[in-house]
Amino acid sequence: MSTTRPMHRVIVDIDETRCDGCGECVPSCAEGAIRMVNGKAKLVGDELCDGLGACLGECPRGAIRAVEREAVPFDEAAVARHRAPRRSLSVMQAVGDAPSGGCPGARSVDLGARPASAPERGPAGASQLSHWPVQLGLVAASAPWLAGADILLAADCVPFAYADFHRDLLAGRRVLVGCPKLDDLQACVVKLTEILRTARPRSVTVARMEVPCCGGIAWAAREAVRLSGISTPVVDVTIGVAGTRLA
């Protein structure tokens, strides 16, 4: 009998009208069956869902429930294939293989070391940016300025919200920027794992917003540490929506 023949079983169901795109359910699904698509949580394949409902308690809007319906059986082999690095464009970017197309923002440029404390020039002081690119999907793991560095992994809303971002967080660190709500978190984990194995940074500081969906970027950092086998310390910094540092 074919293992792909539908059967009546328990499987999760996501109500998109209730989903606010917070992303809390994504890291709770060990099989990777849930991903953010166009700002909404989606079950990307019935065969990837074991129906045990580890994600149910993570949804603050009650958008996820367990239902009984016709669905193909849960397939562990399909899960393994799904979670393995895929040579799609997003993962090619994650491991640094995608062509940049000549975009200046994709070229690796070391701007030189910046002082740990910036001279005052207005409330935020001088820029502490020390390299290009900064988007996680564009950074090559082999970039020389990553080797042995202190890395700042920042959610892309943080620099807008936190006035002291350059002086307090960026000074002395190499920044990688991503959005845990809009980016492919699995691709982020792949890229971060490669960076950890290749560059062996001294530390990783994760700067996130206080909103629930931003927790995905901290999860990606710790998952990459686990997968890489590199014992790099990870420190969390949380910025409130009003622009204050909470932790």
For residues 15 and 125, membership in a common domain is answered with no
Q: What is the C-alpha separation between 209 and 247, in angstroms, rounded? A: 11
Per-residue HEC secondary structure of 200-221 comes to CCCEEEEEEECCHHHHHHHHHH
CATH number of the domain enclosing 105: 3.40.1360
For residues 226 and 120, membership in a common domain is answered with yes
Domain that holds residue 186: 89-239
Final residue before a domain boundary, out of 83, 114, 135: 83
For residues 79 and 93, membership in a common domain is answered with no
Final residue before a domain boundary, out of 59, 83, 107: 83
Query: What pLDDT shows up at residue 39?
Result: 77
Query: What pLDDT shows up at residue 113?
Result: 58
The domain total for the chain is 2
Residue 185 in this model has a pLDDT that exceeds 60: yes
Q: What is the C-alpha separation between 99 and 106, in angstroms, rounded? A: 9
Residue 196 in this model has a pLDDT that exceeds 90: yes
pLDDT in tens, 35-67: 888 778 899 999 999 988 888 877 888 999 999
Contact status, residue 63 vs residue 98, Cβ threshold 8 Å? no
pLDDT in tens, 84-126: 654 444 444 444 444 444 444 455 677 665 555 444 444 446 8
CATH number of the domain enclosing 63: 3.30.70.20
Residue 1 in this model has a pLDDT that exceeds 70: no
For residues 220 and 119, membership in a common domain is answered with yes
140: confidence class by pLDDT, cuts 50, 70, 90? confident
- Total-model pTM: 0.61
For residues 127 and 72, membership in a common domain is answered with no
For residues 100 and 170, membership in a common domain is answered with yes
To the nearest 5 percent, what fractions of the chain are helix, strand and coil? 30, 20, 50
Query: What pLDDT shows up at residue 27?
Result: 78
Pairing of strands 174-178, 150-155: parallel
Q: What is the C-alpha separation between 43 and 221, in angstroms, rounded? A: 23
Residue 231: burial class (beta carbons within 10 Å; 0-12, 13-18, 19+): exposed
Q: Assign residue 230 a region: left if phi > 0, alpha if psi is -120 to 50, beta otherwise?
A: beta
For residues 96 and 13, membership in a common domain is answered with no
Q: Supply φ then ψ for residue 46, to 5 degrees.
A: -60, -35
